[in-house]
Amino acid sequence: MDRHDRLFPQPLDQRTTRHGLYRCVVTGVAGFIGSRLATRLLHEGWSVVGIDGFTDSYDPAEKRARAASLSRIGGFTMVTGDLAEMALEPCFDGAEVVFHLAGRAGVRASFDIEPRYVHDNVVATRAVLAAARTAGVRRVVYASSSSVYGNGPTPFREDARPEPISPYGRTKLEAERMCLDAADGDLETVALRYFTVYGPGQRPDMGLRIFAEAALGGLPLTLFGDGTQRRDFTYVDDIVAATVSAADADASGLAVNVGGGSSVTLLEVMDLLRRLVARDVRVQMLPVARGDVHATEADVARAVALLHFRPQVAFEAGFRAEVAWVRDRRESAELEEARSA
Ligand SMILES: NC(=O)c1ccc[n+]([C@@H]2O[C@H](COP(=O)([O-])OP(=O)(O)OC[C@H]3O[C@@H](n4cnc5c(N)ncnc54)[C@H](O)[C@@H]3O)[C@@H](O)[C@H]2O)c1
């Protein structure tokens, strides 16, 4: 595909590769964001090879359920394995783009099990880049993180000096640098710095889901810090839209912020949660957790220019959708329990 075709892609039904359909790889496909991305790509007519190692970062049953849903959509092939150890070239053969979302996420755990973070974020990314080059992949889109900025001045701009304050942030930055350094005439790369992604399907170790689960269960919430921390929450479908755009964006060797544009304090999250669950929510405050930054806020000028990024979902609507999803899950689990009792 030449540069003109890349900038002005053909209609989807005419996009073909030597393997037939327009083909891509999604690593971390059984994850929160990877599964949502793959669903969208499949519905847009791509053929998707999904790779996941079903790691123990949280209950693998949740990941298996996402992979099972994807397998019901035509055009999807699931490959199970650890990116750092498997033969990747056969999976990448004929792929136009590799969306590299596999990784070990989460700041707090990274202080306790740093070697796992190095393995899943750094070693795995090195393997992905090497295989992408050998297999002749056109572009690797990498899921980087706002954690690379640490406690830098807000709003975060891509040309600021990254100063991660956790092993998670450091491993994401190292992998991002490998991706950007790999860009040349044969291989294009883009690193998207995602800002706190939320919405239905969110990882069970993430704040909003933990808060929603506790509030719906009538349990007190634990808040690390005084609640004045701000997060630039980004709805998962907005992240997915930016990630799909990155496949064809006129950029390579570049990092791009992807933030939802709603910088909200955790105290504001609590207030909204009380309204959404229509009951009081007790909050227990503990000292700030290690590695937690005080505020994140994305400058998205680059994403707007290169990815035509326009977040569609405001925080209140997005959190309402997540709380509804958590409620549905809880009700299904209760029904299941009652049935098997
Ligand atoms: N969720 C967020 O708010 C957020 C923010 C910034 C960046 N990111 C990045 O986006 C990506 C996806 O995040 P998520 O929230 O969907 O996480 P997730 O944990 O739900 O998904 C990651 C998936 O990668 C798989 N994986 C991990 N290491 C692997 C390996 N070595 N080989 C094969 N598979 C492996 C896991 O089993 C998991 O299914 C991650 O790279 C994360 O660092 C996420």
User: What is the spatial distance between Cα 274 and Cα 112, in angstroms, rounded to a whole number?
Assistant: 33
CA 14 / ligand 1 centre spacing (Å): 32
The catalytic residue among 22, 117, 168, 198 is 168
Look at the alpha carbons of 177, 250, 14, 72 in this order and tell me if their dihedral is positive or negative: positive
What pTM was estimated for this model as a whole?
0.94
> Angle at Cα 265 formed by Cα 330 and Cα 284, nearest 5°?
60
Check pocket membership of 125 for ligand 1, CB cut-off 6 A. no
Atom of ligand 1 nearest to the CA of 105: 43
Check pocket membership of 33 for ligand 1, CB cut-off 6 A. yes
> Angle at Cα 194 formed by Cα 181 and Cα 77, nearest 5°?
80
- Return the percentage of the chain with pLDDT > 70, whole number: 94
Structure tokens of 215? 């509030």
The pLDDT score that the predictor gives to residue 21 is 61
User: What is the spatial distance between Cα 18 and Cα 2, in angstroms, rounded to a whole number?
Assistant: 15
Our answer to whether residue 235 is catalytic in this structure is no
The pLDDT score that the predictor gives to residue 16 is 53
* Domain extents in the chain: 3-340
Q: Is the peptide bond before 155 cis (omega within 30 degrees of 0)?
A: yes
Check pocket membership of 194 for ligand 1, CB cut-off 6 A. yes
Atom of ligand 1 nearest to the CA of 197: 3
Check pocket membership of 232 for ligand 1, CB cut-off 6 A. no
Mean pLDDT, consecutive 10-residue segments, the chain of 341 residues?
41 46 92 98 94 98 98 96 97 96 96 97 98 97 98 96 97 98 97 98 97 96 94 98 96 97 93 95 92 95 97 97 97 90 83
Check pocket membership of 78 for ligand 1, CB cut-off 6 A. no
The pLDDT score that the predictor gives to residue 17 is 46
Q: Whose CA is nearest to atom 31 of ligand 1?
A: 120
DSSP 3-state assignment of 175?
helix
Q: Whose CA is nearest to atom 20 of ligand 1?
A: 31
Please identify, in words, the CATH class of the domain defined by 3-340.
Answer: alpha beta
